[in-house]
């Protein structure tokens, strides 16, 4: 399901649109519930969004002391590794915030994968408010999407896609020859809001595919998400050129 497709002229305008929506949801959550629990996307696309959120213009709009940052997924590397999503968020957002700081809940990805997943799952259960069924509930899950239709570290044809209970799992990704820790579909489904931030012509084919074809017997991870959850799409024109 789509709860809106927002298309922007270029990546900078996309980041601005995404930052405005982030601020709106943060203020709403903090006003209504006293905190904003958000899982951030990794990869490269959101770097521009995070940098924009750290500028004085947006720092003034977000009550950062009420923001609780989590990660949608993490590579199983130390936090100072160039592959680390935490390091990417630290460099593009956290180190640039000069005033109030958010509460950071990073994945302890330097631990053995199963241990890191269990630790993160435990912290989500303790720190996130529960939904009506008692499952951990994010106010926002911000996701990117790969050209193969993966979201977070939910890659096509991986067992994690069939997890129905746990909020967090460790998985070995054959094609990357590396371990990842990822939120699972159930906890993403429970989120109050889900934003997909997609930029660049390399994502045009996959966007056309998922918006113009009915999910087949083996839906892609993004299609599995869309079957049960409303997604807000934030795209630039290059990515949306085939829609």
What does the binding site for ligand 6PG look like in residue numbers (CB under 6 A)? 41-45, 72-73, 85, 144-146, 150-152
Nearer to ligand 6PG, 30 or 196 (CB): 196
Q: Nearer to ligand 6PG by C-beta: 30 or 160?
A: 160
User: Nearer Cβ to ligand 6PG, position 152 or 240?
Assistant: 152
Residue 45 in contact with residue 14, Cβ under 8 Å?
no
| Three-class DSSP labels, 155-189 | CCCCHHHHCCCCCEEEEEEHHHCEEEEEECHHHHH
Give the shortest CB-236-to-ligand 6PG separation in angstroms: 12
H or E segment to which residue 236 belongs = strand 231-236
Rounded least distance, CB 72 to ligand 6PG, Å: 6
Least CB distance to ligand 6PG at residue 182 (A): 8
State how far the Cα of 243 lies from the Cα of 91, in Å rounded to an integer.
33
Distance CA 236, CA 11 (A): 6
Residues 186, 167 contacting (CB under 8 angstroms) = yes
**Residue nearest to ligand 6PG according to CB distances in the complex:** 144
For ligand 6PG, the closer CB: 102 or 221: 221
Closest distance to ligand 6PG from the beta carbon of 82 (Å)? 13
């Amino acid at each position: 399901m789509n709860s809106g497709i927002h298309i922007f002229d270029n990546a900078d305008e996309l980041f601005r649109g995404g930052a405005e929506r982030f601020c709106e949801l943060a203020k709403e959550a903090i006003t209504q519930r006293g905190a904003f629990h958000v899982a951030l996307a990794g990869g490269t696309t959101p770097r521009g969004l995070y940098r924009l959120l750290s500028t004085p213009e947006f720092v003034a709009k977000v009550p950062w002391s009420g923001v609780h940052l989590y990660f949608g997924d993490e590579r199983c590397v130390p936090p100072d590794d160039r592959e680390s999503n935490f390091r990417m968020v630290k460099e593009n957002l956290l180190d640039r915030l000069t005033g109030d700081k958010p509460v950071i809940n990073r994945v302890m990805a330097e631990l053995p994968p199963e241990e890191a997943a269990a630790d993160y799952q435990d912290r989500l259960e303790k720190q996130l408010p529960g939904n009506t069924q008692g499952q951990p509930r994010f106010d926002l899950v911000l996701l990117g999407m790969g050209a193969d239709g993966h979201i977070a570290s939910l890659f096509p044809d991986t067992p994690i896609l069939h997890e129905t209970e746990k909020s967090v799992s460790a998985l070995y990704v054959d094609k990357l020859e590396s371990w990842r820790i990822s939120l699972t579909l159930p906890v993403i489904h429970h989120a109050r809001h889900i934003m997909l931030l997609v930029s660049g012509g390399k994502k045009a084919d996959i966007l056309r595919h998922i918006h113009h074809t009915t999910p087949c017997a083996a839906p892609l991870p993004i299609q599995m998400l869309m079957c049960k959850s409303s997604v807000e799409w934030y795209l630039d024109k290059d990515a949306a050129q085939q829609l």
